[in-house]
Amino acid sequence: MRKYYGALLAILLLCFLGFTGCLGSGASEVMSNGQSVVEEETVIDHTFAHHRFVDNLFMTLPPDWTYSTYEKVNAGDEMESNEWGFKVYIEGKTAGEIIIAGGYDSEEPTGEEGTDFITNTGLLGKRYTQEAEDENKDVLIKEYIALTVPGFDYAYYAVVCTISKELYEENKEILDSFFLNVGVAAVPIDTQS
């Protein structure tokens, strides 16, 4: 059964790559801090293997943005939310951090009403946007997008972005396109075999 799910994941990934037209050549370089920077618009993906399922997170990364992956390994069912995913930096700036993370529980903001959201890859969810101030009274824009894979209840996914209002407004169209192109391909692992 495990081979079946592995083959299914491979087919899903091939379909995704064919669907996107393999944007860009994938040209990137690794910086000294472990981040990779892309030189042109590129599809970036990473496969994460867990105790009960395998998922592949992918995104279309704009030029000059950097990214790194992270994952808590060998955590089994003890893995908590946001312990696997990507950290993305707008134009390499740590002040422009976006996190795309997987988790076993949804952590949607309480007391807020989100708007319905669907990605170009078919993920469903809610989008929350609010203004806040940091400790220096600078205005920040906070974006939180809670996503699920239809028919897959093993995990939840989130896109979290808290950046200055100025950086947000400079990159609004690019950010909206980025959010719409986040994707996940996921399959359960049969642990009974």
| pLDDT tens-digit map of 44-85 | 898 887 767 788 899 999 988 999 888 866 555 555 556 788
Average pLDDT, the chain: 76
Q: What long-range pairs does 121-130 form, CB within 8 A, spacing at least 24?
A: 121/16, 121/58, 121/181, 121/182, 121/183, 121/184, 122/150, 122/183, 123/147, 123/148, 123/149, 123/150, 123/157, 123/182, 123/183, 123/184, 124/148, 124/150, 125/157, 127/179
Which pLDDT does position 165 carry in this prediction? 94
Could you give all domains of the chain from N- to C-terminal order, each with its CATH number?
Answer: 2-188 (2.60.120.1690)
Say how many Å lie between the first and final Cα of the chain, rounded.
7
Alpha-carbon span 43 to 14, nearest angstrom: 13
Alpha-carbon span 9 to 47, nearest angstrom: 10
Residue 32 pLDDT > 60, yes or no?
no
Q: What is the pLDDT of residues 77-134, one digit of tens each?
A: 555 556 788 999 998 877 889 999 887 766 777 767 889 999 998 899 999 998 988 8
Which pLDDT does position 24 carry in this prediction? 38
- The model's pTM is 0.74
